[in-house]
Chain A
């Protein structure tokens, strides 16, 4: 069984009956390995479609959870259950519970470091005070606004006014906190939250691949939220210095906010400033200052120092890229694609109106970025298979477009692997309008292929 990745959470969804006999068939070590390769912050088993389970059935999963935690530091646990199932799990495992329980996968995603939705109001309740506190801290760190109900009565009273809250959390238990560094996106800036003592472990906890991908897809401002950091040692100093050097290649800015140097040598601050890191006392000093944001690069992603050009190897593999794209769109629309023209130049978009775009990067033996520009009408059509109905909700369409581009990326990976070219793909990025896309790629040369599906025009652009 394969996991489905959404909002940084990889979810396995077994169906039917779970007992000790069938669990190992449901979730093999290979399946877990694939989930780990998805770079998910959480690996969960959904009980939404499980009608019966016993302790033996869950035990087999918890053994796998331990293996995952040991290897990947991901948060592991169960999600999507009702009160009866929740009580049963708590009863089976008593105080020995060392995995997490999330009432729904959406609630789980609030605790995932990779989820980007912020500034949401979350009502939460747990009869266990330490759980309430732990959840509130975790949510606050993630950029949410948690409201903690102290009693069940208070919770029921508040929860009856659903419209006041974006999320309502109960029947949830945090087994182990994630050990990764939480990441959130505010506008075009990426905020990493670091805390406690920063030492050599920061190299393991920091998702360098995510960071590199963020640079590749155009993010230029990275902020370390260090309000809760007590001190750092020389290993952490080296980590930040190296990060600053690599950011400089992309003309990106690294800043540290809220760091107190009471227990850290002041000379560290000077060293970090010399390497290009900028310090601020308050987060709002940056985020509320539009001029400063612009200066630091968060409002524009166009000023890349090392502009790379498309190379022969990429052009040689162009048929694989086009085939993956066309194949996927054909699969989604059941329509035939017609290739109208190919040119190597800067991207040219005839009419920017009513168009949206998505990009996905790849790296490894080859590297570059595929950009797809859709008229909204085609995007809607292509996403219908995934959404299941017609919709005009642009957020939903963009979200689904990211899933579609992920399929394209997966297909590219498979087609290139057939030729012994190994690449990994980045997370997809979507653009609600063409201007925001052009900020990233306006001056990049690449291969542009104009295609049409049932007379609807569609643009494929491959660049580095």
Chain B
């Protein structure tokens, strides 16, 4: 069904990060938000994406924000970088989703929800490391990878999953010895993302721990956040609820705190 060659070819086809993105990220890293906004504005798609994301209800602005400098100023350094990374990941998403019932709008919705709630969690945990803010951006790439690798095998996967409760990550690992999160790591490396980002993502799979206490704690929060989001009607309808296995024991000890942060009653 899926071979190691197919995975290698998928990774090979991932384009390097665009020049404008690189420049924007460099300027953001230097704290030059105004200059960064100017450079980002040269990419029409990036400009539109940023406007769409920031004007989603979860960001809570009453009036529409259109000006890129204003958007960057409102977001601040950490969230601007996070949003640009989100844009990079969105470039990998297919024009037409087959396996999952997603579209650009719902995918952006997922990215925005994850980012805002991740911010809440980091604030609660008193973590100010900027790279930790960016870590969440790589998580949705696991969904894109699943779509890309499995969409041609829709019927086979359906039959297989009706016979055995087996998630996409397990199928991939058993067939090729590579997990969805290993591929996320490859993408992060190709795009020269910070090491901490893919370490947290690997840990958030719930099946591969890093051994670093802080990273593994964040992985745990990220795993629970992912399933909190995937339990929303819109994403259940998109067939995302069981695309990877929820490791309930992995997150059991932080559930009460999580419920408090997310105001679940």
Contact = CB atoms under 8 A, between A and B. Distances in A.
B164 interface: yes
Contacts of B248: 48-51
Interface string B1-20: 11100000000000000000
Interface in B160-218: 160-166, 170-171, 174-176
A318 B139 CA distance: 45
Contacts of A331: 1, 153, 156, 160
Interface stretch (B21-29, B74-82, B126-134, B233-241): B233-241
A51 B227 contact: yes
B227 A334 contact: no
Contacts of A2: 158, 161-162
Interface in A397-414: 403-404, 406-407, 410-411, 414
B155 interface: yes
A327 interface: yes
B264 A52 contact: yes
Interface string A210-221: 000000000000
Q: Interface size for chain A: under 10, 10 to 19, 20 to 34, or 35 or more residues?
A: 35 or more
Given A334-B1, A407-B160, A16 B246 contact: yes
A26 B236 contact: yes
Q: Interface size for chain B: under 10, 10 to 19, 20 to 34, or 35 or more residues?
A: 35 or more
Given A26-B241, A49-B245, A384-B174, 12 more contacts: A16-B227, A16-B231, A17-B264, A18-B231, A22-B231, A22-B233, A49-B248, A51-B227, A334-B175, A334-B176, A386-B163, A407-B159
Nearest to A4: B165
A326 to B, nearest CB: 12
Nearest to B258: A51
B246 A49 contact: yes
Contacts of B156: 327-328, 331, 411
B59 interface: no
Nearest to A27: B236
Determine which residue in B2, B231, B232 has the highest number of CB atoms from chain A within 10 A of its CB, and name it: B231
Nearest to A409: B159
A1 interface: yes
A386 B164 contact: yes
Contacts of A432: none
A21 B161 CA distance: 25
8 contacts: A3-B162, A15-B245, A18-B231, A21-B233, A50-B248, A334-B1, A385-B171, A403-B163
B231 A334 contact: no
Contacts of B2: 334
A362 to B, nearest CB: 15
B45 interface: no
A25 interface: yes
Contacts of A385: 160, 171, 174-175
Nearest to A57: B231
A388 B174 contact: yes
A253 interface: no
B50 interface: no
A385 B176 CA distance: 10
A403 B237 CA distance: 27
B112 interface: no
Contacts of B232: 21-22
Contacts of A5: 162-163
Contacts of B230: 15-16
A449 interface: no
B259 interface: yes
B255 interface: yes
Interface string A16-58: 1110011011100000000000000000000011111000000
Given A52-B259, A331-B156, A13 B165 contact: yes
A411 B162 CA distance: 12
Interface in A310-358: 327-328, 330-331, 334
Contact of A4 (B1, B162, B231): B162
Nearest to B158: A2
A3 B3 CA distance: 27
Interface in B136-161: 153, 155-156, 158-161
A309 to B, nearest CB: 30
A334 B3 contact: yes
A386 B159 CA distance: 12
A11 interface: yes
A263 to B, nearest CB: 46
A258 interface: no
B251 interface: yes
A15 B227 contact: yes
Contacts of A414: 155, 159
A15 B164 contact: no
Contacts of A175: none
A1 B241 contact: yes
A25 B233 contact: yes
A404 B174 CA distance: 16
Contact of B241 (A15, A403, A406): A15
A1 B242 CA distance: 9
Contacts of A21: 232-233
Interface string A232-256: 0000000000000000000000000
A54 to B, nearest CB: 9
A50 B161 CA distance: 19
6 nearest A-B pairs in the assembled complex, by CB-CB distance: A16-B231, A16-B227, A15-B246, A17-B231, A25-B236, A331-B1
Nearest to B173: A388
B163 A407 contact: yes
A13 B233 contact: no
B228 interface: yes
